[in-house]
Protein backbone atom coordinates (compact mmCIF):
# COMPACT_ATOMS: atom_id res chain seq x y z
CA UNK A 1 0.00 0.00 0.00
CA UNK A 2 1.34 3.41 -0.95
CA UNK A 3 0.71 6.41 1.26
CA UNK A 4 -0.65 9.42 -0.62
CA UNK A 5 0.02 12.89 0.76
CA UNK A 6 -2.33 15.58 -0.57
CA UNK A 7 -1.35 19.22 -0.21
CA UNK A 8 0.85 22.08 -1.25
CA UNK A 9 4.22 23.10 0.12
CA UNK A 10 2.89 24.46 3.40
CA UNK A 11 4.45 23.95 6.80
CA UNK A 12 1.80 21.38 7.77
CA UNK A 13 2.33 19.29 4.65
CA UNK A 14 6.11 19.59 4.87
CA UNK A 15 5.95 18.04 8.36
CA UNK A 16 4.24 14.97 6.92
CA UNK A 17 6.81 14.66 4.11
CA UNK A 18 9.60 15.04 6.65
CA UNK A 19 8.17 12.40 9.01
CA UNK A 20 7.63 9.89 6.20
CA UNK A 21 11.15 10.50 4.93
CA UNK A 22 12.64 10.05 8.41
CA UNK A 23 10.71 6.79 8.84
CA UNK A 24 11.90 5.57 5.45
CA UNK A 25 8.37 5.06 4.17
CA UNK A 26 7.42 5.29 0.50
CA UNK A 27 4.75 7.81 -0.35
CA UNK A 28 3.26 9.59 -3.32
CA UNK A 29 2.91 13.38 -3.14
CA UNK A 30 -0.17 14.89 -4.79
CA UNK A 31 0.28 18.63 -5.04
CA UNK A 32 -2.98 20.50 -4.71
CA UNK A 33 -3.52 24.13 -3.81
CA UNK A 34 -6.21 24.95 -1.28
CA UNK A 35 -6.24 28.59 -2.35
CA UNK A 36 -6.74 27.84 -6.04
CA UNK A 37 -10.12 26.15 -5.71
CA UNK A 38 -8.76 22.69 -6.46
CA UNK A 39 -10.09 21.37 -3.16
CA UNK A 40 -13.61 22.32 -4.20
CA UNK A 41 -13.60 19.98 -7.19
CA UNK A 42 -15.80 16.90 -7.01
CA UNK A 43 -12.87 14.55 -7.62
CA UNK A 44 -11.03 15.86 -4.56
CA UNK A 45 -14.10 16.04 -2.34
CA UNK A 46 -15.04 12.45 -3.16
CA UNK A 47 -11.87 11.33 -1.35
CA UNK A 48 -13.21 12.45 2.00
Q: How far apart are CA 35 and CA 22, in angstroms?
A: 29
Q: How far apart are CA 48 and CA 43, in angstroms?
A: 10
What confidence score (pLDDT) does residue 19 get? 96
- Alpha-helical segments (H) within 1-48: 11-23, 42-45
Going from N- to C-terminal start, the domains of the chain cover: 3-45
* pTM beyond cutoff 0.85: no
What confidence score (pLDDT) does residue 36 get? 72
Question: pLDDT for 1-48, tens place per residue?
Answer: 789 998 877 778 889 999 999 999 999 998 876 677 777 788 777 877
CATH of domain 3-45: 3.40.30.10
Note whether 2 and 26 are within 8 A (CB).
yes
30 CB-near residues (< 8 Å, 6+ apart)? 4, 5, 6, 7
Amino acid sequence: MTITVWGAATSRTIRVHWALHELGLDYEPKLIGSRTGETQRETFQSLN
